[in-house]
């Protein structure tokens, strides 16, 4: 079944501009007082790639203005790789014949301790799609345990009901991340053939359900490489703006996952190279100056070092994309995707400091972890 | 001649307060504080991280001549801010709290309703409450009435460097205030700090403009000088502005001339 893309995030009105803007329009967009949808489309255009240096300078100035000379740090922890969906690009897909793993409570605590020892204060807990081995209760329990140790606990799991999000918030969950993967309903249908994730509509409205239920921040993203990126990024931008307007107490952040080699050997249909990825990051920073923009260890050390502080304000570090993996006690399983930057915390932080950026591990406090009252908008 | 800033039961000779976020590291932050001559520095509870490299509290607590003002940045309502203020007092021993409640994590503008509610409670709990607030003259008086030690209206949104966008409202707040008015947020250049002091502001709080400058310590020194210059100018009394030049042959001369 093909889902329905809400009109509020339809990129169609801007597609022509995103392809055919000329250099004069790009310069106007760079000088705009209040860049919006139109400027976003223009800054994603091929013509704008000729102004990449000017975009980078503007992006750096805006990042400094709103986030200072700091980078917020976090690390992911995969709780389980059991999955009930068949996303063709994913290493955890139900169709892959790999041994499945799930952390026991003891292993989870061991992993938490290992992450704390690394200095991590913001943890992102991940699973595959909803599965009897890793359902809501497993995640709620993990959040509750993590919240005793970490100031900031976020989840990147499956789409939940509003009541479930409320339950997570009450257990101490501060944020959720939910990549739509692709905003194009037809492409989405072709990539998500089976399982709960095949429901486009349920997923696209998940961040709104979470914010309405009292989760503080929603992380958005589209998996770059699945389809034509410019339209995707316009939808992503519109989605972020729509959520910020509707849930004005909520925070929105944006990630830029790009397809990397993983189990199953999925090749991206529309490859996004580093230059295009940088252009996308700069365009988002210029058009959403005070929204946190995050980059994971999917990207190379070279790219991460270069773009830190130039648009990007938040980075994961020393990530493992296997189930567990931070302590020697957990067995190594298959990874969801290959990490491209495997530097440890000390090495990565030394790099940031050498660039005049302070790595900030704690930028939140558990004292603020009362869930917000549920609100309609 | 003594020209002390009175806040609560304390007096301070510096009228420049510093925020401590956004610096590229501990050394840059400390160098800027020293160069600024600030005696009051605000510090976000959310950046307290005992025994870690990014902890902001311990390096500040060890600085001589500095009074810490924990802030509740990150709080989205009165309840959270009150908890944060209590924890900040417990951890620092400071009687001051910069009350900062911003429900929207993007523009970070203060919530006047929650700020008022939290201030009522914190004043009763014995804090010297310094509320970060929209530049609203009525709210300033309401916060003064319930016992805040100062009011901290914003010049512009945090980190924007847009300067004194609220100047007309600030003038009213300053004109009517019976507690110190500390203009907080939005300043970009020392000349704006001087202008704030010239219009009668009692102090300014600066963070981004110093932390994000190419040379934070030098910028801190520049702000310190500007604040002093603005204060002196205010006390000296600026000459009145006039829309028209004063003519040497007045048009109304005929009214006094004898025919």
- CA–CA separation, A327 vs A118, rounded Å? 11
- pLDDT score, position A376: 43
Q: How far is B172 from chain A (nearest CA, A)?
A: 29
Architecture, CATH, for domain B5-256: Alpha-Beta Barrel (3.20)
Q: What are residue B42's DSSP bridge partners? A: B19, B69
Residue B188 dihedral angles phi and psi, to the nearest 5°: -115, -40
Q: What are residue A80's DSSP bridge partners? A: A102
Place of tokens 């609560």: B8
pLDDT digits (tens, 9 = 90+) for A45-61: 999 999 999 999 999 99
| CB burial of residue B44 (10 Å; 0-12, 13-18, 19+) | buried
B83–A367 C-beta distance less than 8 A: yes
pLDDT digits (tens, 9 = 90+) for A8-49: 999 999 999 999 999 999 999 999 988 999 999 999 999 999
Q: Six-digit token pair at A301?
A: 């050390």
A65–B49 C-beta distance less than 8 A: no
Closest chain B residue by Cα to residue A218:
B105
A vs B, Cβ pairs < 8 A, gives 100
**What is the 8-class DSSP label of residue A360?**
E
Chain A within 8 Å of B165 (Cβ-Cβ)?
no
Strand-pair category, B5-7 with B10-12: antiparallel
Chain B residues with CB-CB distance to A368 below 8 A: 46, 74-76, 80, 83-84
User: Taking the alpha carbons of A104, A110, A114, A115 in that order, is the dihedral positive or negative?
Assistant: positive
Q: CB under 8 Å to B49, separation ≥6 — which residues?
A: A121, A361, A362, B55, B56, B57
pLDDT, averaged across chain B? 91
pLDDT digits (tens, 9 = 90+) for A197-219: 999 999 999 999 999 999 999 99
pLDDT, averaged across chain A? 91
Active site residue B22: no
Give percent helix, percent strand, percent coil of chain B, each to the nearest 5.
40, 15, 45
pLDDT digits (tens, 9 = 90+) for A129-139: 888 888 999 99
Instruction: Provide the CA B195 distance to its chain's centre, in angstroms.
Output: 13
Chain A within 8 Å of B90 (Cβ-Cβ)?
no
B80–A368 C-beta distance less than 8 A: yes
DSSP for A193-248, written as a single string: -SSGGG-HHHHHTHHHHHHHTT-SEEEEEE-BTSS-HHHHHHHHHHHHHHHHHHST
Count of residues in chain B = 259
Residue A127 to residues A223, A274, B129, Cα–Cα distance (Å): 17, 28, 45
Where do the domains of chain A lie, and which CATH numbers do they carry?
68-361 (3.20.20.70)
pLDDT above 70: residue B244: no
Q: What is the mean pLDDT of residues A295-324?
A: 94
Residue A220 dihedral angles phi and psi, to the nearest 5°: -115, 160
Q: How far is A327 from chain B (nearest CA, A)?
A: 20
Of the candidates B22, B98, B228, B235, the residue annotated as catalytic is B98
Q: How far is B60 from chain A (nearest CA, A)?
A: 16
Closest chain A residue by Cα to residue B26:
A358
CB A11 within 8 A of CB A234: yes
Chain B residues with CB-CB distance to A247 below 8 A: none
**Distance, first Cα to last Cα, chain B:** 55
Chain B 180-209, residues with CB within 8 Å of chain A CB atoms? 208
pLDDT above 70: residue A353: yes
pLDDT above 90: residue B255: no
B49–A362 C-beta distance less than 8 A: yes
Q: Which of A251, A357, A364 sits opposite B46 (nearest CB)?
A: A364
- CA–CA separation, A104 vs B1, rounded Å? 70
CB A251 within 8 A of CB A207: no
């Amino acid at each position: 079944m093909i889902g329905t893309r809400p009109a509020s995030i339809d990129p169609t009105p801007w597609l022509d501009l995103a392809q055919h803007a000329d250099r004069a329009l790009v310069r106007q967009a760079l000088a705009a007082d209040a860049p919006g949808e139109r400027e976003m489309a223009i800054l994603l255009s091929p013509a704008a790639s000729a102004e990449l240096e000017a975009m980078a300078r503007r992006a750096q100035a805006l990042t400094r203005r709103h986030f200072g000379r700091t980078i917020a740090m976090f690390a992911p922890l995969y709780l389980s790789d059991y999955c009930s969906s068949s996303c063709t690009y994913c290493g955890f897909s139900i169709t892959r014949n790999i041994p499945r793993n799930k952390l026991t409570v003891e292993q989870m605590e061991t992993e938490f301790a290992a992450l704390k020892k690394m200095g991590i204060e913001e943890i992102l807990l991940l699973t595959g799609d909803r599965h009897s081995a890793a359902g809501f209760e497993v995640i709620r329990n993990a959040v509750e345990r993590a919240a005793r140790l970490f100031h900031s606990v976020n989840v990147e799991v499956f789409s939940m009901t509003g009541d479930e999000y409320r339950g997570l918030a009450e257990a101490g969950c501060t944020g959720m991340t939910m990549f739509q993967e692709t905003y194009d309903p037809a492409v989405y249908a072709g990539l998500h053939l089976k399982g709960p994730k095949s429901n486009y509509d349920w997923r696209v409205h998940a961040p709104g359900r979470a914010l309405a239920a009292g989760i503080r921040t929603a992380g958005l993203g589209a998996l770059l490489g699945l389809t034509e990126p410019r339209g995707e990024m316009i939808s992503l931008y519109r989605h972020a703006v729509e959520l910020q307007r509707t849930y004005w107490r909520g925070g929105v952040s944006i990630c830029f996952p790009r397809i990397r080699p993983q189990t199953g050997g999925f090749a991206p249909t529309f490859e996004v190279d580093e230059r295009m990825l940088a252009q996308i990051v700069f365009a988002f920073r210029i058009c959403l100056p005070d929204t946190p923009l995050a980059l994971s260890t999917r990207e190379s050390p070279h790219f991460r070092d270069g773009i830190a502080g130039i648009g990007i304000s938040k980075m994961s570090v020393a990530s493992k994309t296997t189930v567990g993996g931070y302590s020697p006690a957990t067995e190594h399983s298959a990874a969801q995707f290959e990490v491209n930057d495997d530097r440890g915390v000390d090495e990565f932080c030394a790099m940031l400091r050498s660039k005049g950026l302070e790595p900030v591990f704690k930028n939140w406090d558990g004292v603020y972890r009362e869930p917000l009252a549920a609100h309609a908008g | 001649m003594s020209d002390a800033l009175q806040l609560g039961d304390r007096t301070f000779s510096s009228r420049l307060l510093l925020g401590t976020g956004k610096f590229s590291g501990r050394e840059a932050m400390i160098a800027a504080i020293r160069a600024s001559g600030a005696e009051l520095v605000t510090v976000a509870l959310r950046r307290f991280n005992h025994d870690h490299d990014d902890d902001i509290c311990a390096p500040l607590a060890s600085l001589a001549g500095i009074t810490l003002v924990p802030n509740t940045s990150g709080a989205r309502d009165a309840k959270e801010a009150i908890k944060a203020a209590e924890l900040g007092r417990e951890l620092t021993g400071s009687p001051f709290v910069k009350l900062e409640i911003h429900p929207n994590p993007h523009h970070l503008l203060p919530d006047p309703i929650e700020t008022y509610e939290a201030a009522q409670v914190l004043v009763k709990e014995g804090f010297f409450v310094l509320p970060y607030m929209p530049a609203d003259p009525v709210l300033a008086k309401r916060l003064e009435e319930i016992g805040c030690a100062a009011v901290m209206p914003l010049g512009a949104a945090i980190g924007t460097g847009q300067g004194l966008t609220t100047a007309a409202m600030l003038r009213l707040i300053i004109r009517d205030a019976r507690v110190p008015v500390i203009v907080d947020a939005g300043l970009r250049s020392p000349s704006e700090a001087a202008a704030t002091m010239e219009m009668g502001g009692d102090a300014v709080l600066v963070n981004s403009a110093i932390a994000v400058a190419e040379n934070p310590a030098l910028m801190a020194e520049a702000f310190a000088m500007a604040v002093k210059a603005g204060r002196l100018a205010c006390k000296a009394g600026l000459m009145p502005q006039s829309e028209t030049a004063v003519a040497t042959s007045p048009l109304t001369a005929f009214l006094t001339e004898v025919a």
